[in-house]
Structures are given as structure tokens and as C-alpha cells.
Structure 1
Amino acid sequence: MLEGSVQSGTTAGRDGTDRTEAPEVEIISSSTCPFAQRTRMVLATKGIAFSLKEISLDDKPDWFLKLSPYGKVPVLRHGEKVLWESAVINEYLDEVFPAVPMLPQDPFRRALARIWIDFANVRMVPHVYKFMLRQDQEGQEFQRERLTAAVLFMEHSGLRELSGGPFWMGDRPNLVDFTFFPHVQRFVVLSHYRSFVIPPECTRLLAWIDAMHQTPAVQAMRPSNETLIRNWSKYAHNTGTGVTAREMREA
């Protein structure tokens, strides 16, 4: 087990918050996986005590493949229950551990939050990977345009309309923020390998990124830019052999 393993009683997390005792919660993760980072930030923000087991996605143990039908992280073990897929895991955690709610209470606002979570997963994140994987100039420029369009939609139809606060839907981060942030954080990789720049008109998005960097959960679970650039070289050169790389090539 790595740092964050649970002991009996309330423990302090790496973000300095008190954690609710929940020794049966285990997250199986990879240190640089953005999807796993989502769940780790939710756990930290909600103050849920958990044990952390990290695996190498390049050498997945057999016991892990029996738990994760897709061969992906994160995987959550809660007692005898096993869940995969970060968006599903995060909603489960929010329902089972209701302290520090991570979705709006109003049904319409909660539905809007889920729309934006779906947008992140379906309309934004794939373009991050495809932009990195494309080796030809024409393909890269096509993905640059698609990702830029997604970013502008986030700015004008998302952040500017949903919230007057620093985060997506108010004064504190919720599941929408934690769904978007790990991949937006990896724009540093797109900048390094593909010269991608967030359009300057995206003032709300840039302010949101600054606000997210100040949150304890992000600071506790944030890989360095150098680590991200090194780890994502496999996407930049299209040498990645993982499940996500394969899926994005096929999509």
C-alpha cells in the first residue's frame, strides 16, 4: 500500500483534511492516469479514508484484470463491492458518503451537471488523446480545431452560464470540476508536443484553472508537469499500448 492507507479512527489526508473512517474503501489506481486522478480528488475532498494500491498500466497483474473488465483504472473496492469507470465511481461515492455533497441538490441543476460530465467524457477528452496520437499534420490540425471548439463551448455555454463563482456550478468544486480538470491539466502536454494554446478569450476557463490549482485536493493529487510530459510521450509518438490508446485509435 502507498501513502493514504487507512488506519483505524479518523485520519488526516494528504490535503490536511480529516477523513471519515471507512477502512473498507480501496482505490486501485495509477499515479499518472487522469481518470483515476478524478476519483482520488473526490475521495480527498469528501474526506473519505481509503487505502491506495497503485499498479503499472504497462504490466497489469492478473488479479487486477479479474476486477476490471475493461483493464482500466480506477477500480473501487468498497467491502465486497467492486466498481469501475470513474464517473460511476464518483457518483457512487457521493451517494454513499453524503458529507460534502458533490452534485447540486436541485434536480434540474443536477441534470445539468451530468450533461457536462458527459460532455467532458464524450466531447472533450477524446480530442485530447486523438490530438496527441495523430502523427500527420492534417490530422493534428483537424483535432486542434475540434478541441478548440470544445474549449470555446466550455467557456461560453458552460462556465459563463452555469456559475458566478470560481467553479463550474458555484463557490466550491463538484463532480463536474473534478471530471474536467485532470485532462485540462494535461493541456500542458498538448502545449509541449503540439503547441496547443487555450484561446485568450477563455477568461473564465483560465480563472477556473487557477482556482482549481488552489484547492487542497488538486494540490495533493497533482502530478508535476515534467511527469506528465514524460508519461505522455507515448501518446505524442503513438507508441502507447494501453487500452485508452487502442480505443482512441479505433474511434
Structure 2
Amino acid sequence: MNDIELFSARVCPFAHRSRLALMEKNLPFTLIEINLHNKPDWFLNMNPAGSVPALRQGDFVLHESLVINEYINECFSEIPLLPQSMQKRAEARQWISYAGASFVPAFYRTLKAQDEDRQERSIAEMYRVLETLDNELKRSKGEGPYWYGWQVGLTDIAFYPWFERWILLEHYRGLKIPDQLHSLLDWIAAMQGRDAVKLGGEPVDYYIGQYAAYAAGKK
């Protein structure tokens, strides 16, 4: 019953979240790659939403990365990925929500903006979001390198896949993370040193090629 299958796609940052969560928990799982341009019927029958990631454990199926990651954390108590304090857990979920509501949409608006005016506005918005993250990291992580100290958690995992793909905004929009955002840059460096990140990442050229259509406004 503990056998876990994760249906994923290399290119997808949402699926990347759940791969990271499973690897950080040191859980064995079977990784099944789904072709997002030609999803097999058996996958759509199992997961009518058709999205990745999807997790199957016996007859139980979940989709949506944040829901999957919460389930993984609750189901397997070893190596907790949320803080012990009830208030800190609530705070962590608040920032996980911010990732989906503000950070990820700003990232895609910046990547997909075509005319100069939209690019300027989206880049300004992205800078504001980065400053918000830097300020929160200064406050929350204390002496440790991760969002809530010395243990990587679901908040780190909720954001990191897009920072691995930050090269897209540099390459296509000339947008670098400002040097003065020390807390954010230190956090990115700490995440890049994680074994799970090293094992689950992709080369820069892969991302640049895979997201060319997004940057050209064709998706």
C-alpha cells in the first residue's frame, strides 16, 4: 500500500515540486513520465484532470502539487517538511499560497509579455515580488539557510522550481535577481546545494529550448 507512483513531466515546475518533496522525505517512488502533448488514455482515465503531477498509491489518486505535497508530509511523518509550531505551520502555508497567487503568475506574465509596455510592467511587478520574498526570508529563516531555519520544507519546495527556471527570465527578458537581495540569493544557493535539487534538475539549455514558445507568446 505504501508503493507510490508519481506521474510527472520533466519540463513542468509543478511536477518538480512533488519530485522534490518525495526526494526530501527519502521516500521510494516510481517516476512515470507523461508526454504532455500526447497524454495516454489510461492516464486520462486515472486522472480526468489530465494534469501533472499526479500521485497514485494503490487505488488512491491525487493531483495538484501542493495537495500532493501536503499528503506526502502527513502520510509519512519522518523528516517533517512543515514547522512544529501551529503558528509557524499556518505561516508556512500562507507563503505557499503566496507562491501560487503572486509569485508564479508574475513569473509567467514576465516570460510571456510581448510588447515593451507589458514587459516593463511585468518586470516591475516581478521585482516587487522578489523584494517581498527577500524581506520575508530575512525575517523567517533566522540563522538557518532555508525558509524556516535549518530544515528544508514545503515552503522552500513551493518556490524553488521557478528559481531553477529563472534562467528563462534572464535569457528572454534580461531580468536578473538584484545583488542587494542577499537573503533571497543565499536561499537559492542553499537550495542548489541540496542533493534532491542536484538529482532532479535539468540543464540550462533544456529549459531555454522547452520554454521558447512561451517566451514568443505562442502558448
TM-score normalized with structure 2 length? 0.96
- The 5 Å alignment of 1:136-215 reads 136-156=115-135, 158-164=136-142, 165-215=144-194
- The 5 Å alignment of 1:5-154 reads 22=2, 24-154=3-133
Of 133-142 and 57-66, the range deviating more from structure 2: 57-66
Alignment coverage as a number of residue pairs: 218
Q: Which runs of no fewer than 5 residues in structure 1 stay unpaired?
A: 1-20, 241-251
Distance in 1 of aligned mates of 2:164 and 2:36: 20
Give, in angstroms, the shift of residue 58 of structure 1: 1.3
Percent identity over the alignment is 39
2:216 is matched with which residue: 230, 237, 243? 237
- The 5 Å alignment of 1:221-236 reads 221-236=200-215
Match of 1:7 in 2: none
Give, in angstroms, the shift of residue 59 of structure 1: 1.3
Q: Is the 8 A contact 1:44 1:217 kept in 2?
A: yes
Q: Is the 8 A contact 2:147 2:155 kept in 1?
A: yes
Distance in 2 of aligned mates of 1:86 and 1:26: 14
Distance in 1 of aligned mates of 2:119 and 2:29: 40
Give, in angstroms, the shift of residue 194 of structure 1: 0.4
1:87 maps to amino acid? L
Q: Is the 8 A contact 2:14 2:53 kept in 1?
A: yes
Give, in angstroms, the shift of residue 95 of structure 1: 0.4
2:69 maps to amino acid? N
Q: Is the 8 A contact 1:67 1:75 kept in 2?
A: no
Q: Is the 8 A contact 2:81 2:151 kept in 1?
A: no
Q: Is the 8 A contact 2:81 2:154 kept in 1?
A: yes
1:68 maps to amino acid? N
RMSD of aligned alpha carbons: 1.2
